[in-house]
Amino acid sequence: MIMGTLFSISIKKFDLIIDSASLTALKVGVRELNTRETLVWTNIKLSDDGWLNDGVVYNAVDKKIGQGYDWNPAPTVSGGKLHYKAQSLDLNRDASTNKSTGAWH
């Protein structure tokens, strides 16, 4: 009986650790999106054509973050739902402007 109780507690703690790690992975994914957005925006600003509009920036950002990440539904210019394992985040995206890069949050 004691072993069963200890096993039950350890399973619950393990599940909490997995959920916490998945949530951390999602936060890292959002940071990656913001880094990519900033790099694309900067490259566009420095190009010969310069900044045209937010759609150009959004379309140039690679939104495939890595293995285990999934968008469902697919991301849009205003945001999306990012999944990693059993966790997910509803993300909003602030549009880029001529003066500032867009941001996912």
In the predicted structure, residue 20 carries a pLDDT above the cut 60:
yes
Summarised one tens digit per residue, pLDDT across range 40-77 is 999 999 999 998 999 999 999 999 999 999 999 999 99
Q: Give the angle 19-23-25 at the CA atoms, nearest 5°.
A: 115
Asked if residues 94 and 78 have their Cβ atoms less than 8 Å apart, the reply is: no
> What is the CA 17 to chain-centroid distance, rounded?
20
Structure confidence at residue 60 (pLDDT): 97
Phi/psi at 24 (5° precision): -65, -40
Summarised one tens digit per residue, pLDDT across range 70-96 is 999 999 999 999 999 889 999 999 999
Summarised one tens digit per residue, pLDDT across range 23-46 is 999 999 999 999 999 999 999 999
In the predicted structure, residue 13 carries a pLDDT above the cut 70:
no
Q: Which amino acid is at 45?
A: K
Structure confidence at residue 18 (pLDDT): 57
> What is the CA 2 to chain-centroid distance, rounded?
42
Question: Would you kindly state where each structural domain of the chain is located, as residue ranges?
Answer: 2-104
